[in-house]
Every structure is written in structure tokens, then in C-alpha cells.
Amino acid sequence: MKIVITGGAGFIGGNLAGALAAQPQITQIRVIDNLSTGHKANLAGLDVDFFEGDIQDAALVDQVIRGADAVVHLAALPSVPRSLRDPLASHHANATGTLQVLDSARRAGGLHVIAASSPSVYGANPHLPKHESLAPAPMSPYAVTKLATEAYLSAYHHSFDLPVLPFRFFNVYGPGQRADHAYAAVIPKWISATLAGQPVTVFGDGTQTRDFTYVGTVCRILIDALLHRIVEPRPVNLAFGTRTSLLDLIPEIQAATGRPARREHRVPRAGDVSHSQADSARLRGLFPEVTPVPIREGVDATVDWFHSAVVKRASN
């Protein structure tokens, strides 16, 4: 099988490329990435055909997709705060970019397209757990771009019979997720701060909850979906219904790093939701054999990666 990963030089994409490379059924991995938030280092040592460029470039996407069997579409400008600073940039990369990838997949004869959406689409809807049939209520431009992503997948399925699968990834974390940029996610940011002896910044009182999902679990599901060609035009939550508060994360990080974590509270951030927990029935129905990596194990593996990244930097 020949697989295209858009955004393959990113955090999830790099992990997926590594996991796919270990699968005997996968004969070729192609990555298209404009390196806006990703890094070639995430693909170091992997046998991957890398195309540097933008998913809005129709000719390039056509070239990358030609002859492939499936596309895992991860390219996007992630982060709610980033979309508040520059809503149009998020729209172009995430919504227009998705349309371009879908149209290319259609023109290439109907490739299987698996795409990344986000629970931010639930936004202001307070109901918990988040079931996919809840009315979307986006609170940020980023959430709108992900709703558009899902809607385009559904439209291309119904209009052109394109085999699609939109996943709502819930707070993915793990090795390769960097802390050294303004929009870093909470787990890498807090691990990095704790290892450096700095306080962890909590926006609000820290009682907000998230359904953290280890990147290895995400890759396992993406690979199963590719190998078994799972098609579902309705969005599928990719998380297992766990509910970890930010304050609960602190002891996990202390245990994994062996260092004390001091907290520093700041005012809540605009666009952030208070609670996020998936109803995982649809996911478990489609992937009954997948069991998620528990948070303790996932945070341990992430801290190990931070240590190895520091050693690598020191030896360069």
C-alpha cells in the first residue's frame, strides 16, 4: 500500500510515518509538508519520499497523490490561540487546504481519505461526554476550520462517493511534541518547565478537564483504519472517554520526571473550553481491538523523549 501523509513532518505525522514504516503491508510513504509548524527532523532515519510545499498547491498535491492508495490528511495550522491571532491563515491552510486535498483525491480516482478534525467543534455545547451527534458550537476560528474539514469530507463522500473518515482527535500527546513554540500544548510545556526547574503555568483554576490520548494509540487506530479501509462519513471521536483535570496532570509529570512541579496561575484564555471528554462508543465499535495507552505510561514515554532530545542537542 502507498500512503500519503499531509503534514507528515508534524508531531502526529512524524509518529505515524515511523509506525507505518514498521508495517510490512506499507510499501511507500509520501509526505507533503510546508514545514510551517513541522520539522524534517521528525522524519529523520525514515524511508519517506518528502515533498516540501503547500497543500493549497493543486499541481503539487496531484503529483504527490498520483498512484497512492490512501491519504492521511493531517496538514493544518493547529491551535485555537493561533487562529485568534490570524483567522484567515488558519482558514486557508485548514479549510481551503482540505478542499484541495479532497479534490485531488477525487481526481485521482477516489482515494481513501482519513482526516484530522478536533473536539473544538463542540465548543460552547456544555453536554458531557461529547457524543458526535451533539450540535457543533464553534467558539474559535480554528474550530470553524475543523467543522469545515468534516463537512467537506461528508460532502465529497455523498457527492462523489469518496471513501472518507474524519476523526476528532482529543488532546494528543507523546514523543515528538515540542514545547519550544508559543502555541505548545500543555503536556510538553509542563514537562519542559518541570525539567528546567521552572513553574508550570495554569490558565484558570486548573479544574478544566481533557481526554488526553497518547500518540501511539492514535497511530494504531490510523493504521487499522488504513489497512481495513474503514469508511465512515460521520465524524468519529478519537479518544477513550477519560477525564483528567490539569491539576491531576501535575502528579503524573512529577512522577515521570522525578522533579517537583510548582504552579503559577494566570487568567483563563479566550476560546478555551472548560471540559472535554469523548463518548467513545463509535470509535470502540469501529476499532474493538484497540486499547489505549494509559496516561502514566504515555507521560513516561514522553519524558524519555525529552531526555533523549536534550542528549541529542548536547551532542550536536
Residues forming the site for ligand NAD (CB under 6 A): 7, 9-13, 32-38, 54-56, 74-78, 93, 97, 116, 118, 169, 171-172
CB of residue 122 to ligand NAD, shortest distance in Å: 12
CB of residue 60 to ligand NAD, shortest distance in Å: 9
CB of residue 7 to ligand NAD, shortest distance in Å: 3
**In the chain, beta strands by DSSP E:** 2-6, 28-33, 49-52, 70-73, 112-117, 164-169, 172-173, 200-203, 209-210, 213-214, 236-238, 244-245, 263-266
DSSP letter, residue 130: B
| Cβ distance to ligand NAD smaller for residue 4 or 162 | 4
| Cβ distance to ligand NAD smaller for residue 62 or 259 | 62
The Cα–Cα gap between 182 and 21 comes to 31
Helical (H) or strand (E) element with 255: helix 246-257
The Cα–Cα gap between 124 and 163 comes to 30
The Cα–Cα gap between 33 and 50 comes to 8
Quick one: which of 235, 186, 236 has its CA closest to 209? Answer: 186
| Cβ distance to ligand NAD smaller for residue 259 or 290 | 290
The Cα–Cα gap between 300 and 9 comes to 23
| Cβ distance to ligand NAD smaller for residue 169 or 287 | 169
| Cβ distance to ligand NAD smaller for residue 10 or 129 | 10
| Cβ distance to ligand NAD smaller for residue 7 or 163 | 7
CB of residue 262 to ligand NAD, shortest distance in Å: 25
The Cα–Cα gap between 1 and 69 comes to 6
Place of cell 503539487: 60
CB of residue 11 to ligand NAD, shortest distance in Å: 4
Please say whether the dihedral angle defined by the alpha carbons of residues 140, 144, 150 and 151, taken in this order, is positive or negative.
positive
CB of residue 218 to ligand NAD, shortest distance in Å: 9
| Cβ distance to ligand NAD smaller for residue 21 or 184 | 184
The Cα–Cα gap between 50 and 53 comes to 10
CB of residue 235 to ligand NAD, shortest distance in Å: 12
